[in-house]
A = this chain, B = another copy of it.
Amino acid sequence: MAGEGEEMVKNKQVIFRDYVTGFPSESDMYISSSSLSLKVPEGSKSVLVKNLYLSCDPYMRILMEKVEANRDFASLTPGSPVTGLGVAKVVVSDHPEFKKGDLVWGPTGWEEYSLIKKPEAFFKIHHTDVPLSYYTGILGMPGTTAWAGFSEVCSPKKGESVYISAASGAVGQLVGQFAKLMGCYVVGSAGSKEKVKLLKNKFGFDEAFNYKEEHDLDAALKRYFPEGIDIYFENVGGKMLDAVLINMRVNGRIAVCGMISQYNLKQPEGVHNLMHIIPNRIRIKGFAAFDYYGQYSQFLDQVLPMIREGKIVYVEDIVEGLENAPGALIGLFTGRNFGKQVVLVAKE
């Protein structure tokens, strides 16, 4: 019920213009502003949140096309704000489990304030001695992806050889560090000299290379894995996957949570070397972090101490302001980001 005494605020938004084909650009989004009443319908069990940090994730490109709804996501809606994961603070709540001031992370809108109709999808944030932005990354979906993907999907063993593509990104940097902590030999690839340095010097990878400087990916992999790869953490797809398939060891495992090289292609590249999975008994498994959200508190119990004790580090690339969000998202696909890409909307 609109009425006297209610507080109105300006609500800046990043609007999704229309479905995208091929490579996306900043102009597929635009900034708009509306005004908003700081209230939620009574009995709606909704909450109104102020968005603090927004997460730029590669999967978002997929939702810029009209895709069949699945249990994880729906496509973006042309003319409506971009949706994604973020960290937010509850401003008004009609839900018994959330109260004003609660910090949460989960699905929200690319705007200053969002009305959340199903706040049950939020995780409450109880630990604020670590940067809040971490809940878009190491302590959010990418962290869960890396942790569950490595420990559950890859079935790693001490001493095994692990290869990670897109290794300096939100997920890859963590997989590499988890693998090192387990006593694996870890090699990562990334798209610039600086990222390669980061992998070796900051994250402690055994080796790293710039895939853009390798005209023969097969030869590059043979250089770093003369005896083959036990575990491949796949973020890339296409030619990289083809090169990996001919370098896997017997009983190797490939965990697939993304194929960023393919998202902007009208027709995905063909993968030609799948036959190699037969003699080498390779297991390839697609997975999504959501399947492991039930283990989130166990995940926090393991990873929070690692962060506090400095056993694991996390590099973020934080841009400030909603108006810079479209560029930050598009930058993921040219590799402009240096670490996990985050957008700072407001400081509490």
Contact = CB atoms under 8 A, between A and B. Distances in A.
Interface residues of A, number: 34
A61 to B, nearest CB: 12
9 contacts: A237-B274, A267-B272, A269-B270, A269-B272, A281-B286, A281-B287, A281-B288, A282-B285, A283-B286
Given A250-B71, A283-B285, A258 B278 contact: yes
A278 B257 contact: yes
B267 A277 contact: no
Query: For chain A, what secondary structure do more than half of its interface residues adopt (helix, strand, loop), or is it mixed?
Result: loop
Contact of A272 (B250, B270, B276): B270
A275 interface: yes
Interface of A: 70-72, 237, 241, 250, 256-259, 262, 267-288, 291
A238 to B, nearest CB: 9
Nearest to A241: B274
Given A270-B270, A271-B271, A272-B268, A287 B279 contact: no
B279 A70 contact: yes
The listed residue with most B CB atoms (<10 A of its CB), out of A72, A257, A276, A287, is A287
Given A71-B250, A250-B71, A281 B291 contact: yes
A15 to B, nearest CB: 26
